[in-house]
Chain A
């Protein structure tokens, strides 16, 4: 796994460390090769290759596996977390803390001593219609509440963003894709400084909220085309229609993803172009046309 390829899962690891609140001074990462380790930094991440804790060794650190293989034959005095890749805990091996598996392949010997084993069960909404509907309703409630508030309290703001979407979709799409991508990369690299990790998390959350803002305005735009008198109710209906269409399109391979991405970047760009709806977007006028 290359450093860039490992970035998303490394971010997850950083977030988990941050949430865990532990006193981490040093972190080490293995990307390639076979490594026999007697000691690690406070946190060790296995991103590639094979890392083995030999039978006679005791390492006092938390181990995260995001790629490659981690083989524990000795003692890990801490937690072991498997996010991706392979993990084996052999006969006689010891993990004093929690062994948490999220994804990847784990082989834990029955003769190994593990403080606590925890397996994360990923929600599988596609298998459960009730959960799927629940998720949809939750999304609708959050977006609908925001859309209702926006249209009822600040109709001009919604109108400005809506106009940027309908009248300047291409410009909004370009600015949205450029802005969202560069900010995403910026926040990811800020996270790596560790010092700026809180700011990076706040930035990522803000970016997500801007996407939701854009979606709410898409719903508002759909609502204006519905034969409903109340703006708030029309927006609610529009948001429901938008989410439903995106949900249905999501079933179609590629098309669903492209549609969702399109809505996200155009909405994002429209929000940025209008300074969150405070100003109507007007492109520059170029003189000299025929």
Chain B
């Protein structure tokens, strides 16, 4: 790990770069998994009075608008050279955080459907600009060999905080906590973005200059990867699959009181702490595997873990179906823990992958397409499918059965794909069979 070398050699500027990146990404991701994913449901259903279906449609719209805004932002960043200017990126981020701060502050006051719609559009614009900008900071601040570990740290901290701190899943609570957390962040970003004095300029210049070393991602050495190449499209499709499976399954799990009250919303702190620790363990494991193995190995593990998790969930439900007396008995703590490990695995991969598939010239577009298509489009599609399932009165077991089938299919597809690739490589090397 390069981090320890930097600490040993007292390169505090580089060390501070790690810290800045982790802090910004943790804040952004924590905001996303709490306020956006959970607070919005509460805002729409409880305060605005919409049905869960209507709120889900709103969330799907948020995902779609975010994707469009992100794509435009990412391409603009690369074309105008903003991707290679640290100060510009910090200014953009400052603007985004200011918008999110105001939106977070006023969210509990939203009462009407048009206001709710406007809130969603504005939030989408903020998110759409925010994530390509924040991901692009990796090329300035994070050494390539350490991206797996840094991604693991971001995932571990964000999920630990989200699970261990027993906040009620209400928009009022999220609003208060996040406004308090964002205020000092705005001040720091304002100083970094607009204040100019010799020492600060020197630090930012030095951090920006690191791009020369860290700007070319792990998979771009040799021939840079283009957005239209298979080397980029395949990870995008695989990540889309992971996000889709997770979102489709989790949407139903959080809608099932017996499952959610015995896990993520358990009144028992130890249960929540257990899940938080599982997230940390999963993130560390993913970081180690990302840094020591090929990308295909990380994907294989991620799919294997998801397949296993859903096999366990559906097996429990099948047993409960055969023995109805235990149907309301909640779920084993092993299931959410395994789920947490699987989620941490792909989240870690998501934070490290897009900068590693990019160069300084393509980071904006690649992270926008990567996170946009894999993350947001997958969320949009899975929400739409979940709504269809809901309309079709699909049972919990049938719903999770579809998720399990998808995860097994992805695992099998990836294994077959890797095997076929190896065969093609061998055929090309030998020009046919060899003794």
Count A interface residues, CB 8 Å. Answer: 30
CA distance A33 to B5 in the complex (A): 61
Q: Are A2 and B332 in contact (CB under 8 A)?
A: yes
Interface of B (DSSP majority class): helix
Chain A binder among B28-36, B42-50, B291-299:
B291-299
Residues on A with beta carbons closer than 8 Å to the beta carbon of B305:
182
Partner of A283, one of B144, B291, B325: B291
CA distance A284 to B214 in the complex (A): 18
CB closest residue in chain A, given B332: A4
Residues on B with beta carbons closer than 8 Å to the beta carbon of A189:
311-312, 315
B2 at interface, CB cutoff 8 A:
yes
Q: Are A289 and B144 in contact (CB under 8 A)?
A: yes
Q: Mark B281-317, 1 if CB is under 8 A from A, else 0.
A: 0001100110111100000010011001001100110
A288-B315 in contact given A4-B335, A31-B326 (Cβ < 8 Å): no
Q: Are A283 and B301 in contact (CB under 8 A)?
A: no
Residues on B with beta carbons closer than 8 Å to the beta carbon of A283:
291-293
Q: Are B294 and A284 in contact (CB under 8 A)?
A: yes
8 Å CB contacts to B: which residues of A258-290? 283-284, 286-290
Residues on B with beta carbons closer than 8 Å to the beta carbon of A177:
285
Residues on B with beta carbons closer than 8 Å to the beta carbon of A171:
288-289, 292
8 Å CB contacts to A: which residues of B129-166? 143-145
CB closest residue in chain B, given A287: B221
Partner of B332, one of A5, A29, A31: A5
Residues on A with beta carbons closer than 8 Å to the beta carbon of B331:
2, 4
A12 at interface, CB cutoff 8 A:
no
| Shortest distance from the beta carbon of A216 to any chain B beta carbon, whole Å | 24
CB closest residue in chain A, given B292: A283
Residues on A with beta carbons closer than 8 Å to the beta carbon of B304:
182
Q: Are B292 and A168 in contact (CB under 8 A)?
A: yes
Q: Are A2 and B330 in contact (CB under 8 A)?
A: yes
A186 at interface, CB cutoff 8 A:
yes
Q: Interface of A with B (CB < 8 Å)?
A: 2-5, 29-33, 48-49, 168, 170-171, 174-175, 177-178, 182, 185-186, 189, 192, 283-284, 286-290
A sample of 18 more A-B contacts (CB under 8 A), given A2-B316, A177-B285, A288-B143, is A3-B315, A3-B319, A3-B323, A4-B316, A31-B323, A32-B323, A170-B288, A171-B288, A174-B284, A174-B289, A182-B305, A186-B308, A283-B293, A284-B292, A287-B221, A289-B143, A289-B145, A290-B5
21 A-B interface contacts by CB (under 8 A): A2-B329, A2-B331, A2-B332, A3-B320, A4-B312, A4-B332, A31-B323, A31-B325, A32-B326, A33-B325, A174-B288, A174-B289, A178-B285, A189-B315, A283-B292, A284-B294, A286-B218, A286-B291, A287-B218, A288-B221, A290-B5
